[in-house]
Amino acid sequence: MAGTIAFALHAPVRRDDLPGLCARVCTLLRDSRPDVAWCDVSGIDADAVAVDGLARLRLAGQRYGCRIRLQNASDELLELVAFMGLEDVLTV
C-alpha cells in the first residue's frame, strides 16, 4: 500500500446505484492499494441512501486496508451522519 487517492460522488445516489458504486470503488481500491482514499461528497444530497452508500464504501475500504475519508461534506450531511450514529465511522 502506498499513498492517497481521491474520487467524487455525484447526485443523485439512488438505492439501486449502490451495488455498482461499491463495485467501482472496490476496483479502484484493489488496483491502487492506497492507505487513504478521499471521497469528495460535495455533489451528493444529504439523505439516508447517501449515508448508506458511504457506510458501504467505508466497509469496502476496510477490506482493502484503506481509510475512506469524507471531503467537502455539507453541514446537513454531517448532521445526518451523526444522527444515524455513524460519526465515528464516517470521518472527515
Q: In this predicted model, what pLDDT tens digit does every residue of 6-16 receive, in sequence order?
A: 999 999 999 99
On whether residue 51 sits in a domain, the answer given is: yes
On whether residue 91 sits in a domain, the answer given is: no
On whether residue 88 sits in a domain, the answer given is: no
pTM for the complete prediction?
Answer: 0.92
Q: Where are the alpha helices (DSSP H) in the chain?
A: 18-32, 48-63, 75-83
The 8 Å CB, 24+ separation contacts for 25-30 are 25/57, 25/60, 25/61, 26/60, 26/63, 26/64, 29/60, 29/61, 29/64, 29/66, 30/64
- Range of the structural domain that residue 32 is part of: 4-83
CATH number at residue 71: 3.30.750.24
On whether residue 39 sits in a domain, the answer given is: yes
In this prediction, residue 91 carries a pLDDT of: 87
Count of domains in the chain?
1
Over range 27-39, report the average pLDDT: 96
- Whether 47 shows a pLDDT value over 60: the answer reads yes
